[in-house]
Amino acid sequence: MPTAKTRSAIIAVVLFIIGLLVGASLTEVIDDEDDEEGGGGLTFDDPYEPVIVPSDFVAGVNNTYMPLVPGTTMVYEARTDEGTERTVVHVTNATRNVMGVVCVVVRDTVSLDGSVVEDTYDWFAQDAEGNVWYFGEDSKEYEDGEMVSTAGSWEAGVGGARPGIVMLAHPHVGLTYRQEYLKGEAEDMGTVLSLDAAVTVPAGTYSGALRTKDFTPLEPGVLEHKYYAPGVGLVLEEEGTVRVELIEVRTGQPD
């Protein structure tokens, strides 16, 4: 594992701007193929100012690792210390305009032992190169059936929040990228670890999966690994001993 001094030198050398984003530049991407499990403490001093040009985005999202087909519902389950967590992700037919970009609206509902604890509407859009951008969310947390918080909500272009890339058009091992950005509040990042992972979950066995690690400089002790199957999307998320597994995919579901 490189020392902090060595890491700083590596970052200084390999920091570059993704010029392939048509009119939508991500200014903080690190290419560090030797850093497989580190990186949880990465921070950037340079300003993060992605340039969003609405005309450079396309209708819908068809990235092979994150296809968002309206009417598709993906169901996940996990065993946690608190009980059985069930997450239902539904790609709606609705759209939302954020920063002039027409985003696909995805509803994400989390239940714990049958009781809803979180209900979120996420906003995604794909640029002409195939990168999937995350433009914000409207999130509500519940306790005993009552809404208690909207703390996770944010919208790109409002209050200093900026969109980030949640899925690259052309991922390769070692790329680290910002997924969202609101300084001091939302600084999630991802790193590509593998493009040929194999994974088995209740919904099936998948090969050639994209494996990433997700982390945030705000919580250096938290690290997630995610697996995305081509043509399917997210099939497995691991955090410590907890596995959030895809158990079912439904198509043609109404909103």
3-class DSSP state for residue 85?
strand
> How does DSSP classify residue 131?
P
pLDDT at 29: 52
Q: How far apart are CA 40 and CA 205, in angstroms?
A: 29
The pLDDT value given to residue 38: 41
How many CB atoms lie under 10 A from the CB of residue 27? 16
201 contacts 245 by C-beta, under 8 angstroms: yes
Q: Given the structure tokens 């509902």, which residue do they identify? A: 109
Taking domain 4-250, whether its CATH number is 1.10.10 is answered by no
DSSP string covering 22-84: SS-----BEE-TT-SS--TT----S-------GGGEESSB--TTS-B-TT-EEEEEEEETTEE
- Give the mean pLDDT per block of 10 residues along the chain (255 residues): 37 32 40 44 62 97 98 97 96 98 98 97 98 97 95 93 97 94 89 97 98 92 96 97 97 91
**101 neighbors 124 (Cβ within 8 angstroms):** no
Query: CA 133, CA 86: separation in Å to the nearest integer?
Result: 25
Say which DSSP state 174 is in. Answer: T
- Give the residue extent of every domain in the chain: 4-250
pLDDT value, residue 240 = 92
For residue 194, the model assigns a pLDDT of 98
